[in-house]
């Protein structure tokens, strides 16, 4: 058994979506968006017939947008997901890596208040499936995430396309990106100290 999971096997209380308290069921808003809402770099370039890949990425990225920003902060949302659908630290780090690749390296989507909750939900779900041995049921994730089961399934598939299905992450890659993040935070601290 892989020791990446620190919690015991899920009990009936943890696997039963009905055991999730009402306060952990805040919906994160309608997935419907207007076509003019930005979804990434592809929206900023002129789409010619030769940029069909950019057009496809834009259409996939738009699936994560909501009409209005969800009524819950990112911090509260992540705490809620961790409390009711706990997963390994590696799943959180892998999700950060996936989003870094998509937003910074590939420039295939822009992270906004309209899409970050759905991206985190789908990313954590996919990262947990790809990197952890134990996972909570789909229905529980949807309930805690504030979306329907069918919407969560669609978000997972769209997230896999955004990441080009590169979901397996090695410990070395995660360590490298943690060190990059630490260096960036240190540089930010130093620059704020000199002001």
**pLDDT at residue 112, rounded to an integer:** 92
Query: Is a pLDDT exceeding 60 seen at residue 52?
Result: no
Query: Is a pLDDT exceeding 60 seen at residue 121?
Result: yes
Specify the pTM.
Answer: 0.70
Separation of alpha carbons 52 and 60, rounded Å: 12
| pLDDT tens digits, 19-29 | 666 656 667 66
| pLDDT tens digits, 132-169 | 888 899 999 999 999 999 999 999 999 999 888 888 88
Residues in the chain, total: 195
**pLDDT at residue 49, rounded to an integer:** 39
CA distances from 174 to 13, 91, 101, 163 (A): 32, 10, 13, 16
Higher pLDDT, 53 or 74: 74
Separation of alpha carbons 49 and 53, rounded Å: 9
Query: Is a pLDDT exceeding 60 seen at residue 2?
Result: no
Which of the four pLDDT bands, split at 50, 70 and 90, describes residue 45? very low
Token representation of residue 29? 């808003």
**pLDDT at residue 7, rounded to an integer:** 46
178 contacts 171 by C-beta, under 8 angstroms = no
CA distances from 1 to 95, 102, 115, 125, 174 (A): 23, 32, 35, 20, 21
**pLDDT at residue 5, rounded to an integer:** 46
How large is the angle between the packed helices 138-145 and 116-131, nearest 10 degrees? 160
95 contacts 53 by C-beta, under 8 angstroms = no
């Amino acid at each position: 058994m892989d020791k990446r999971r620190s919690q015991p096997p899920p009990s009936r209380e943890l696997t039963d979506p009905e055991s999730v308290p009402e306060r952990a069921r805040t919906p994160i808003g309608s997935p419907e968006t207007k076509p003019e809402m930005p979804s990434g770099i592809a929206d900023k370039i002129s789409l010619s017939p030769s940029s069909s890949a950019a057009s496809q990425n834009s259409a996939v990225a738009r699936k994560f947008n909501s009409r209005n920003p969800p009524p819950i902060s990112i911090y509260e949302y992540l705490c809620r997901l961790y409390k009711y659908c706990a997963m390994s630290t590696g799943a959180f780090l892998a999700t950060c890596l996936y989003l870094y690749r998509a937003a910074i390296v590939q420039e295939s989507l822009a992270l906004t208040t309209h899409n970050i909750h759905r991206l985190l939900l789908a990313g954590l779900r996919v990262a947990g499936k790809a990197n952890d041995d134990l996972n909570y049921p789909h229905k529980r994730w949807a309930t805690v995430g504030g979306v329907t089961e069918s919407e969560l399934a669609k978000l997972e598939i769209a997230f896999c396309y955004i990441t080009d299905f590169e979901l397996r992450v090695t410990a070395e890659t995660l360590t490298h990106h943690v060190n990059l993040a630490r260096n960036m935070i240190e540089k930010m601290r130093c620059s704020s100290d000199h002001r």
